[in-house]
Amino acid sequence: MKNSRTAVLVKPDGLQRSLIGEIISRFERKGLKLVGLKMVSMTDAMLSEWYVEHKEKSFFGDLKEFMGSMPIVAMVWEGVDVVPVVRKLVGTTLGREAEAGSIRGDFGMECVIYAEEELGR
């Protein structure tokens, strides 16, 4: 089985609510390996590129404003089938509808985390 990598962003509200350690612990307990971590303030250009798939949607401006309001924590995780594993741990997009036991289900009325597709090697 081949390891792959994926990016995970902990959004400003997750940072503000001190959830970074809990989120890292959940991924580590699942057996994933943290291979990169950085706290970063996202610029408008970075946000426009990261969320390009949402640029025509009505919430795009609010999303960029929120994500640029304070630093986020960006992580790269590695493991076998890392993308579906991360998606399961994170839970469905709407926090208020996410499964109990998932990060969003346990901590979010809205998103506190964003998981990106598999990163190429």
Residue 40 phi, psi (nearest 5): -145, 145
User: How many Cβ atoms are within 10 Å of 7's Cβ, its own excluded?
Assistant: 17
Q: What is the pLDDT of residue 76?
A: 98
Q: Give the list of residues 6+ apart from residue 81 with CB closer than 8 angstroms, or none.
A: 1, 4
d(CA 49, CA 104): 24
Which of 3.40.50.720, 3.30.70.141, 3.40.50.300, 3.65.10.10 would CATH assign to domain 3-42+71-119? 3.30.70.141
Q: Is the pLDDT of residue 2 over 90?
A: no
Tell me the domain boundaries of the chain. 3-42+71-119
**pLDDT band, residue 41 (cuts 50/70/90):** very high
Matching residue, tokens 């979010």: 108
* Both structure tokens of 77: 């995780």
Q: What is the pLDDT of residue 108?
A: 78
Give me the residues paired with residue 9 across strands. Answer: 74, 114
Contact 6, 75 (CB under 8 A): no
**pLDDT band, residue 23 (cuts 50/70/90):** very high
Give me the residues paired with residue 76 across strands. Answer: 7, 36
Q: What is the pLDDT of residue 110?
A: 58
Residues 19-23: what's their mean pLDDT? 96
